[in-house]
Amino acid sequence: MGFIMLSEKMNEPLCQQANRELYSSYLYLSMSYYFESIKMEGFAHWMRLQAGEELVHTMKMLDYVAGSGGRARILAVEAPQSDWGSPLQAFQHVWEHERIVTGLIHALVGVAEEEKDGATGQFLEWYEKEQVEEEESSDEVLNLVKAAGEDIAALAAADKKLGERRFRFPRGFEIFPYSGVKQ
Ligand code: OFO
């Protein structure tokens, strides 16, 4: 429990954003299994890690709510799409989705400003930076897939490259163990 009290007007949009982050995790996990079904294992691996990152985004936000005197609530997550016409369509979807999420983060920063909640505004700076990175990496992969086109060898090379991605927790934040428990 921190020293500041989160207002209800800030609490709820943060929980809703955590829900969108969890939806992102569902979406990328769904894409991961789509890629597995078409035997593109590097792409499947990349998406699986992306789904993990989104779970980190979810929990980091809810931990902030819970640690700021608010109440972290888990909301229903809708089922994501499960099939795409091609890797290109899937990555186009990622690209569009991340732009939507960036807009949501900016809206949340706007709520923090209206609420004169400087601590939350500062907390959200991490998400603003993260969105810049997410947009860059989705751009990069989208361009790679676009350049490969229908060329099987180029797609296989892209698949191999994406299979090299490694998972990294944000500095100072891991989702296991729960930070309130010493291990
Ligand atoms: Fe959480 O960054 Fe993507 O959605």
d(CA 160, CA 43) in angstroms, rounded, equals 8
Kindly state the DSSP code that residue 170 receives in the 8-state scheme: P
pLDDT in tens, 79-90: 999 999 999 999
Q: Evaluate the CA torsion angle 21, 169, 50, 180 in order and state its sign.
A: negative
**For all residues of the chain together, what is the average pLDDT?**
95
This model's pTM is above 0.75: yes
Whether 98 lines ligand 1, by a CB cut-off of 6 Å, is yes
User: Could you tell me the residue ranges of all domains in the chain?
Assistant: 8-162
The mean pLDDT value for 36-56 works out to: 98
pLDDT in tens, 14-45: 999 999 999 999 999 999 999 999 999 999 99
Q: Which superfamily is assigned to 8-162 in CATH?
A: Ferritin, core subunit, four-helix bundle (1.20.1260.10)
Nearest atom within ligand 1 for CA of residue 131: 2
Whether 27 lines ligand 1, by a CB cut-off of 6 Å, is no
Q: What share of the chain has pLDDT > 70, as a percent?
A: 97
Whether 24 lines ligand 1, by a CB cut-off of 6 Å, is yes
The predicted structure's pLDDT at residue 3: 54
d(CA 37, CA 45) in angstroms, rounded, equals 12
